[in-house]
Chain A
C-alpha cells in the first residue's frame, strides 16, 4: 500500500514537472505544445549519451541535457512557432505535431529504434529502508526535484521582473506590449524554461523506467498534458496537483484494478473532474462578456 503510494508520488512528480512545461507555454502563448513530450525524449537521449559515451557523472550529464533542451526549445520556437504568432490555434497545434514527428524521426535516425537501456543516474544514492518498506532513491530524488522546481518557479513568477512580465503576457498580450514588455522575448524565455524542465523530467523518467526509445516521450507527454488540464491549464500549482494525483491514480489503478485498464481509468477520472469543474481543479473561470 505505502509502496504504491510512493511509486505513485514518484511517477506523479515526473508528470508534474512535464505538466509545468505544458501549462506555462499554454498560459503564455495559448498553444498546446504537442512536441513537449518529445523534448523529454531528447533530454533522455542526451543524458544517456553523455554518461555512456562521454563518461560524464550524473549531475554534469543532467545539466548538459538541460542546456541542449533549452537551446532546442528556443530554436524550435524561433523557427516553427514564432512565424505563426497571429495564426489560429489549430494551425499552431498542427505545426507542433509536425515538430513532434520531426523530433521523433530525427531521434530514430540518430539513435535507431532499438531501445537503449538507460543507466540509473541517481542509483549511486542508497535506497532508504524503513522496516519492511524500501523507498527507492529515484523516488526520493524525483519528489525533491519536483518540490524544488515548484518552489523556484513560484518565486520566479512572483518575484522577478521576467516572471511578472510572463504573468502580464498571459493575462493580456496586447496590454502587456503597450506597457513596454517584450512579448516575443517573454514567450522565448517561457519555451526555454519549459524545455529545460522537460530535460530534467526526461532524466528522472528514464531513471525510473529505463527503456529509452524515440517514442518514449509521447505517452508521458499526453498524460502530463492531461494532468495540466486536470489541475486547470495555465495554473502552476494546478499542474503540480494534477500531475501528482494522476500519477497516484495510475499506480493504484494498475495495482488494484487492471494493468490494461489503468490508462482508461486515468482518463475517466479526468472526464469526471472536468464535468464537475469544467476548468480543472484550480483553473479560473472565464466567462464571456455579453
Chain B
C-alpha cells in the first residue's frame, strides 16, 4: 500500500450570489454548467445561476440571446444537453414538464398560451389541478368530496384572480379577454400551481406605461405575499431596473454579466452587447 500524499485544498470561488436576506434558507434553484445544442448550434452554454428563496431576478439580453431557451430548459420543455438543475435541492434530471411543475416551477409564455375555450375560472382551476384532491370516479358520481373540493377551489380561484382585480371576469371565456388581461390571467394560473419559483416570460409585452406600473407593483406584491422567488425575462428596462434585485445578461447563449441593477447598467460588456462597439458605429 502506497502512502497517501497530502493534497492542498483551496476554496472554489462560486460564480453565484443571492440576496443577503435569503442566506440560511435553501436555494430555490441552482443550475450549473447548463447547456443545450440544436444540431451543431450551441444555443446555451455554461449557464450558472443560483436563486434565493425570495429573490426577484431579471434575465435580459438582445433578441435571440437564448433567454426563452433557458426557461424551456428549466421547465424541461427541452432536455438539457449538459449540466444540472437543482430545484429546491432536487435534481430534475429526466423529469417531465408536468413533474417539474409539481416540484415547484410555474411559468408563463412569451406567446400567450391560455386554455382559450375554457373560462377564466377554469383556467385558474387547471393551475390548482394537483391541489384539488378527488379522483375521477368521485367526479363522475359526484360524491360529497367532489362538492366540497370544487367549492374550495372556486373560492381560492376567485381569491387569486382578485390579486389583479379580475374576479368579475371569472365566467368569461379566456380566449375572448383583451391582451393585457390574458397576460395577467397567465400569471394567476401559474400562481395557482403554488410554485416556489415563478418564471415570467415578457410579462409586460404589449402593455402601456400605466399598466406596466401596475404590473411592477403586483409582481412585488406576489413575492411579498406568497414568499416565492420570481425570475423574469423582460425588454422593458424600467421594469427590470425597478423591481429586479439581481440581473443576468445573456448574449449568444452565454452569460456576459451578472450583478445588481446598478452594476449591470455600468458594465461595459453589457453596453457593448446592446449598443455595439464604437468601431462598428463609425
Complex-state Cα separation, A290 to B78, whole angstroms: 10
For B68, the chain A residues whose CB sits under 8 A away are 290
Complex-state Cα separation, A290 to B77, whole angstroms: 8
For B72, the chain A residues whose CB sits under 8 A away are 290
Residue of A nearest to B110 (CB): A290
B146 at the interface (CB under 8 A from A): no
For A290, the chain B residues whose CB sits under 8 A away are 68, 72, 77, 109
Interface positions, chain B 52-72, Cβ under 8 Å from A, are 68, 72
Residue of A nearest to B77 (CB): A290
* Total chain A interface residues with beta-carbon distance under 8 A: 1
* Total chain B interface residues with beta-carbon distance under 8 A: 4
Complex-state Cα separation, A290 to B68, whole angstroms: 8
Residue of A nearest to B201 (CB): A290
Per-residue CB proximity of A268-290 to B under 8 Å, as 1/0? Answer: 00000000000000000000001
A190 → B minimal CB distance (Å): 31
Complex-state Cα separation, A290 to B36, whole angstroms: 15
B78 → A minimal CB distance (Å): 8
Complex-state Cα separation, A290 to B72, whole angstroms: 8
Complex-state Cα separation, A290 to B112, whole angstroms: 10
Complex-state Cα separation, A290 to B109, whole angstroms: 8
Per-residue CB proximity of B100-122 to A under 8 Å, as 1/0? Answer: 00000000010000000000000
Complex-state Cα separation, A134 to B144, whole angstroms: 76
Residue of A nearest to B72 (CB): A290
Per-residue CB proximity of B70-81 to A under 8 Å, as 1/0? Answer: 001000010000
Complex-state Cα separation, A181 to B68, whole angstroms: 34
Residue of A nearest to B75 (CB): A290
For B77, the chain A residues whose CB sits under 8 A away are 290
Residue of B nearest to A288 (CB): B77
A88 → B minimal CB distance (Å): 13
For B109, the chain A residues whose CB sits under 8 A away are 290
A286 → B minimal CB distance (Å): 15
Residue of B nearest to A289 (CB): B111
Per-residue CB proximity of B108-144 to A under 8 Å, as 1/0? Answer: 0100000000000000000000000000000000000
Complex-state Cα separation, A290 to B67, whole angstroms: 12
Complex-state Cα separation, A133 to B77, whole angstroms: 57
Residue of A nearest to B107 (CB): A290
B28 → A minimal CB distance (Å): 22
B104 → A minimal CB distance (Å): 20
Per-residue CB proximity of A221-242 to B under 8 Å, as 1/0? Answer: 0000000000000000000000
Per-residue CB proximity of A51-80 to B under 8 Å, as 1/0? Answer: 000000000000000000000000000000
A135 → B minimal CB distance (Å): 46
Complex-state Cα separation, A290 to B113, whole angstroms: 9
Complex-state Cα separation, A18 to B164, whole angstroms: 57
Interface positions, chain A 7-31, Cβ under 8 Å from B, are none
Complex-state Cα separation, A290 to B110, whole angstroms: 8
Residue of A nearest to B97 (CB): A290
Per-residue CB proximity of B145-165 to A under 8 Å, as 1/0? Answer: 000000000000000000000
A285 → B minimal CB distance (Å): 12
B109 → A minimal CB distance (Å): 7
List 4 A-B pairs, Cβ < 8 Å. A290-B68, A290-B72, A290-B77, A290-B109
Binding site for A on B (CB under 8 A): 68, 72, 77, 109
The 4 lowest CB-CB distance pairs between A and B, nearest first, are A290-B77, A290-B72, A290-B109, A290-B68
